């Protein structure tokens, strides 16, 4: 039986990421997108921010009101998605029912899709295409 220890695995990932970052000429920037004040989402966001910053990554949170309209959220999400400084997007879901989540999944740039929610990434992962980003 193989026993995995969380700290050992985490330290190994951190070491791997640190070495990969040394090969880059820029610091990757992650956008965490959250709608509303769900305590679970806020806790996950804080933990992800702390962990990613410990790796040396830049992290920005984009927080929107629970009652944002579908149209306004799509416009704001489009701006984040098209921001050249943002290299990865983590969308905290589920989104409020007033926002068409499928539309957002179709909008996200597959190269920035950290959770593998875009149809392009999902199809690539299931097809065994290693250019797809899996969660």
Residue 22 lies in a domain: no
CATH number at residue 96: 3.40.50.10860
pLDDT of residue 52 exceeding 80, the answer is yes
**Domain range holding 46?**
27-127
Residue 3 lies in a domain: no
Domain count, the chain: 1
Residue 90 lies in a domain: yes
Residue 15 lies in a domain: no
User: Considering just the CA atoms, what is the radius of gyration of the chain in Å?
Assistant: 16
The mean of the pLDDT values for the chain is: 91
pLDDT score of 81: 98
Residue 105 lies in a domain: yes
Report the alpha-carbon distance of residue 28 to residue 57 in Å, rounded.
6
Condensed to tens digits (0 to 9), the pLDDT of residues 111-130 reads 999 998 998 888 887 888 88
Q: How many helices (H) and strands (E) does the chain have?
A: 5, 3
With beta carbons less than 8 A apart as the criterion, state whether 36 and 8 touch: no
From 3-12, 39-48, 53-62, 94-103, the region with the lowest mean pLDDT: 3-12
As to burial, measured by CB atoms within 10 angstroms (0-12 exposed, 13-18 middle, 19+ buried), residue 3 is exposed
As given in the structure block, the two tokens for residue 50 are 């702390």
pTM for the structure as a whole: 0.88
């Amino acid at each position: 039986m193989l026993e995995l220890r969380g700290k050992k695995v985490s330290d190994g990932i951190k070491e791997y990421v640190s070495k990969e970052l040394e090969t880059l000429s820029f610091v990757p920037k992650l956008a965490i997108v959250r709608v509303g004040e769900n305590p679970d989402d806020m806790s996950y966001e804080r933990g992800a921010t702390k962990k990613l910053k410990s790796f040396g990554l830049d992290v920005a949170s984009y927080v929107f009101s629970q009652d944002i309209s579908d149209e306004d959220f799509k416009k704001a999400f489009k701006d984040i998605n098209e921001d050249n400084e943002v290299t990865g997007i983590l969308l905290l879901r589920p989104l409020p029912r007033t926002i068409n989540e499928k539309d957002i999944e179709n909008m996200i740039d597959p190269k920035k899709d950290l959770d593998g929610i875009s149809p392009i990434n999902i199809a690539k992962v299931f097809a065994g295409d290693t250019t797809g980003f899996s969660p």
